[in-house]
Structures are given as structure tokens and as C-alpha cells.
Amino acid sequence: MPDSMTTEPQFSLTPPTVNRSENAPAPATQRKAKLEARRLNFFYGENQALFDISMQIPERAVTALIGPSGCGKSTFLRTFNRMNDIIEGTRHTGEVLLEGTNIYDPRVDVVALRKRVGMVFQKSTPFPKSIFDNVAYGPRVAGVRDRAKLAETVESCLLRAALWDEVKDRLHDSAMALSGGQQQRLCIARALATEPDVLLMDEPASALDPASTARVEDLIFDLKSNYTIVIVTHNMQQAARVSDHTGFFYQGNLVEFGGTQALFTKPREKQTEDYITGRFG
Amino acid sequence: MEKLPTTSESIPTDGLFRRSSWSRFVESQIQNVMLLCASLSILTTVGIVFVLLNESVYNVTGGTAFFQEISPWKFLTGTKWHWDSGDFGVWPLLTSTLQVALIGGLVSIPLGLASAVYLSEYATPRTRRIIKPTLELLAGIPTVVYGYFALIFITPYVLRPLFGLVGLEVGVFNGLSAGIVVGIMIIPMVASLSEDAIRAVPQSLREAAYALGSNRFDVSARVVVPAAFSGIMAACLLAISRAIGETMAVVIAGGQNTSGLSVNPLREVFTMTSYIVNVSSSDVEAGSLEYKSLYAVALTLFCMTLTMNILSQWIMRRFRETYQ
């Protein structure tokens, strides 16, 4: 095993001074790693999508993954709740850890994992049910039958997703009638209802208008005090606005990972600089 | 006003001119022939509807129609069907038909839906490649074979022992066996149409459901099937409509009971289609009341299946969820 792995490195909130060429995480501070990838390689059939990724995602902070289309950032995000499992012919080597437990361990219950690691997708995906039933979906699947408890969960999740005031009078209307921005916040509320401690967001605002995008970004900011958030985004301004840490992916490699401000102002790698200054991608 | 030059003067190249008038004629006739082929099925339908109405409702070709002799009220409310005594109440035929269709639906809808869900949500591509054509093979079996299967296997070896346990007697001909085979017969239809509807549910909905900690069954039962509900409903209605119109299997397995109204599925039934077969194959005189009653029954049957088909299309359009 390489050195970077045996020494349990801690994540850095301040930009590191040494330029590290490996994918290894930056050196220590006090913030605990919630999620961690160790030498992760990922394949779709014969095509390798991720190359030897090692990365530590700190808890209760927003980590953005940026990079051009097809760079593997979404694939990487989807390993944290094993969403890639439902695609035929995928495989991986290496480890992905949630609080130190390898989530690809055969003893891990994927259903339980996905309850702890919630996900919000690029396209809002409300189920063709009422607003209430959408949010209550997760608890119901988990076996909650008590109506009062469900109502309480629905209210608190809609409140946290900043949607309650807009929908409290029509909880039993179809979720399909909401606007795009409302649907996306509903999906966030729905993800919160399973009581996760990690939220994965795959370009959550890319299909939204600027006003709705701003609301979703505010929401992300509010949520990070309680949740560990990993967000994939195309939009570098968004990454700069909402995230504390940013990882830049290029062609399946983690090129650079560090504090957002540092990465955007003083990138260590040439490729990162080229990308954030708009020279490609 | 200055005269524009004519085409022949302005375009000198020969190759650009139209081909001979003969080849243009042939081309337009090809189009007409194809149009004719397409209209043929419409014309047939129109012809059938005309004959049905002519013989049953109002005769325009000379002679009297069925409903000009027997009141439609008596036909639609009567509970006895004895042509010798002039009783033409459609209820015995109607209840038999609905009984067979209902049993068929009870058999085919759960099985067909389960197959559809299995094929689209559970089966690996390899299993699917084997199972789907096999299931569709069921649709290729002649209905006569199903009828005999009901008569010589299901009734004596399945129903009789089963109902024998609780001391019930099963007739040689009975509505239950007919309903069961009709159900088996339409499983492929329910499965195939439902599967189409289920496959049309966007993958993103499934992913969202999985991401919320659902297992496969939750995803299928709580998200995919409800999302495909309109298509599944339409599939079921089409299948029931097919069950209502099913003939051969019902004639063979269900029998031709003429004793009146009965809703006991263990006894002989007499469906509308059976009646039509029965009368057409007997030596009933053309123009007689019995002969004309055929058309009245056929018209009723036609109205029922047409309603079901229209209803199914309406449901499909009205309740389809639109996904962006």
C-alpha cells in the first residue's frame, strides 16, 4: 500500500503549500472525513471511467466536484450511494468508505446505505403522486405507518427545503403541477425525509432558471450545518459560491483537490488553471 | 406588363424536365392503390356496421329488422332467451359473457402484470430474451386448442378434484374452465402492452426511488406500476374486450346452456359468441326471427367491445403522465 493510505491523512481546509502530483488528499487539519475513496478505479464494461481516485470528503461542509462533461465526476458521486450498481456491467477496484466502513463490503445493505446517503438528481424526478406522498415516500418504504409521524416528517422536510410556505395548502395536489424549481426543492425535501447525513447532488440546479438556482444554492448553504454535501456541477461560479472544497476531475482523474477559494484563485495544476479560466471544457 | 419568359425557354437542360406522362400516371396510380388498401379495412368496418344495423335496428333493404319485431326494451331487460317461445331477453347471454370475461380478467390481469413487471424490472437481458418470445408464443396457439385444453384437462383434472374437496359438482361444460383458458390466452396481451407502458416510465424515476432506499419491489410496486397505471389500465381493458369477443374456446369449454339466467361459474354458460356460433351452424332459415336475433346479439357485442376499446384509448390519453 502506498504511504498516503497507511497514514490516514486528514483533510485540509487551507490550501496546501506543497504541490502534490499524486491523487492523494491534502494534509491534515481537524475536520473529520465523512466519505473517503481509496485508490478507486471504476469501469463501465471495458471502459475505465475513474483512475485511482483517492479523496477525503470532510463532514458538514460542501464539496464540489467540477470538470468537463464525461470527466467521471458524476460516476464518482454515484459510487457514494452505489447508484452505479443498477447499471449493468459496471465494476470497481479500491474502496469507498463512509465513516471508515467500506460501503462495497458484501455485508453492507445497499438499501440502508442509500437511506444514509441521499441523492438529488439533475432532472427533478417527482413521482406522479401528491406532494405529501412524495416526501413521505422514504419513511413509508422504511416502514413508517403512523400518519401523525409522517405528517410531522413531511412538514419538517418541506420546511428545511424552503418549500413549506409555497405548498402547505396543497399538500395533496400532484407534485407534477409544481414548477421546475419547486420540483427540485421537493426532491431535496424527499431526500431529507430518509434522515440521511450525506446529500449527493448531481447538477441539482442545471435545469433551473437563475431565480430557482439561487434558492437551491441558498438551501445548500443552509443545509451544510447539518449535512455533508457533495455536489457535482458544470457551473464553476456555482462551485465557487456554494462549496468549501472543490475537486477538479479530468478524464477520469482527480487532478486537484483543495479549498475552493484556493483552487479558484491559486490552482496548483496547469490543467485546473486552464479549465477554470475557460481555456477548455 | 412585360411578359415573363416561358419555362421551356428559360431552362435549356433536358434532364430537368418531367418524365413522360405515362410514368407520372403510373406513379399516381401506385399511390391510389395503396390508399385503397388502407381504406379496405375501414370499408369493411363500415360494411359490417351497416349489415348489423340493417338486420337489427332498421331494415332499408326490404324486410323487417329484429328490433322492429321485438322491442329493444324487452331485449335489453328480458331474463329469458328462448326463441321457440319468442323470449329474446339478452341477460342470460350477457351474464354468461361477462362471467367468462370477468374470470378471464381475474386470471390474466395479475399474471400478465406480474410477468410484465418481472420482464422489465427483474429479468436480466438474457432471461428476458428467452421468456418474452415464449410468452408471445402463447398468443400463437389456436383458440380451439385452448378450448380442448379446458374441456379435457382443466375441467376433469383441475376443477373437479379441487371443487370435489368441498363437495361441489363441476359440469362437463362450465364457465369457469372457459374463463380460465380465455384468461391464459390473453396473458401475453396484458403482459406485452403493460410492459410497453412500464418501459415508458423514465429511468430517472427508478433511480430516484432506489436513491431513497427502496428495494426492487418497492420501486416496482410503489413507483413504476403507479407511474405506468394509465397504460396498464388500457392494456387490461383491451384484454377484457378481447375476452368478451372470444369465441372458439368458450363454445367448446363453456357449452351452450339454454336454461336461462345463471351466474354459477361451475355450470354451463351460453355466451353471446356461443349463441352466434350455435345459430349460424344450425339450419335456421334466413330472414326468420332467430336469424335476425343473431344480428341483434352481434350488435350488442360490437357495442361492448367498441366501448371498451374507446374507453381504453381515452384512459391512455387522459391519465398519461407527461415526463419532460
**CB A115 to CB B212 under 8 A?**
yes
Q: What is the model's pLDDT at position B256?
A: 81
The string of DSSP codes covering A58-99 is ESSSEEEEE-STTSSHHHHHHHTTTGGGGSTTEEEEEEEEET
For the stretch A128-142, pLDDT in tens is 999 999 999 999 999
Top pLDDT among B60 and A56 is at A56
Q: What is the pLDDT of residue B24?
A: 83
Closest CB to B213 among A88, A138, A187? A138
ipTM above 0.90, yes or no: no
Going along chain B, which residue ranges are E strands? 81-82, 87-88
pTM, two decimals, is 0.79
Given this model, what pLDDT does residue B43 score?
94
Q: How far is B319 from chain A (nearest CA, A)?
A: 11
Mind telling me how many Å the CA of B129 is from chain A's nearest CA? 16
Q: pLDDT tens digit string along A147-200? A: 999 999 999 999 988 899 999 999 999 999 999 889 999 999 999 999 899 999
Closest CA to B296 of B313, B322, B266, B275: B275
Superfamily designation of domain B89-318:
MetI-like (1.10.3720.10)
Q: List, in sequence order, every residue forming a beta bridge with A229; answer none if it has no partner.
A: A62, A199
Question: Cβ–Cβ of B214/A141 closer than 8 Å?
Answer: yes
Inter-chain residue contact A121 with B204, CB threshold 8 Å = yes
Q: For residue A3, what pLDDT is reported?
A: 42
Cβ A171 vs Cβ A132: under 8 Å? yes
- Phi, psi angles (nearest 5°) of residue B35: -60, -40
For A250-281, how does the pLDDT look when each residue is reduced to its tens digit (9 = 90+)? 999 999 999 999 999 999 998 899 888 887 75
The interface residues of chain A toward chain B in range 104-163, judged by CB-CB distance below 8 A, are 111-112, 114-115, 118-119, 121, 123, 125, 127-129, 137-138, 140-142
Q: Does B127 touch chain A (CB under 8 A)?
A: no
| Whether B223 contacts chain A with CB within 8 A | yes
The whole-number pLDDT of residue B59 equals 85
Helix (H) or strand (E) holding A169: none
Cell numbers at A135, concatenated? 416526501
Q: Is the model's pLDDT at A57 over the cut of 70?
A: yes
Which pLDDT does position A23 carry in this prediction? 41
Which pLDDT score is estimated for B19? Answer: 66
Q: What residue of A is the nearest CA neighbor of B205?
A: A125
Note the pLDDT of residue B8.
52
pLDDT of residue B190: 94
User: Average pLDDT of A221-227?
Assistant: 90
Contacts of A81 in chain B (CB under 8 A): 211
Could you give phi then psi for residue A30, rounded to 5 degrees?
Answer: -85, -25
Rounded to an integer, the average pLDDT of A74-92 is 91
Confidence at residue B80, expressed as pLDDT on a 0 to 100 scale = 83
Q: Residue A111's closest chain B neighbor by CA?
A: B213
**Does residue A70 contact residue A250 with C-beta atoms inside 8 Å?**
no
In this complex, which of B205, B211, B215 lies closest to A119 when CB atoms are compared?
B211
Q: What is the DSSP string of B7-26?
A: HHHH---GGGS---HHHHHH
Instruction: Domains for chain A: give ranges and CATH numbers.
Output: 31-276 (3.40.50.300)
What is the C-alpha to C-alpha distance for residues A202 and A234, in angstroms, rounded to an integer? 10
Output the pLDDT for position A5.
41
Give every residue of chain B whose pLDDT is below 70, as ranges: 1-19, 258-259, 321-324
Contact A125 B205 (CB under 8 A): yes
Residue A7 has pLDDT above 60, yes or no: no
Q: Percent of chain A, pLDDT > 70? A: 88
For residue B71, give the H/E element and its range.
none
- B206 neighbourhood in chain A, CB within 8 Å: 86
Ranges of each domain in chain B: 89-318
Taking contacts as CB-CB distances below 8 angstroms, the residues of chain B near A115 are 212-213
pLDDT at res. B32: 92
How far CA B127 is from CA of A262, B119, B123, B124, B131, in Å, comes to 53, 8, 6, 5, 6
Examine the pLDDT at A29 and tell me if it is beyond 90. no
Query: How far does chain A reach from its first CA to its final CA, in angstroms?
Result: 34
Mean pLDDT of chain A: 86
pLDDT at A81: 93
Give the residues across from B45 on adjacent strands. Answer: none
Q: Which residues of A255-273 are buried (b: 16+ CB within 10 A; e: fewer)?
A: bbbbbbebbbeebbbebbb
Burial bucket for residue A99 (CB in 10 Å: 0-12, 13-18, 19+):
middle
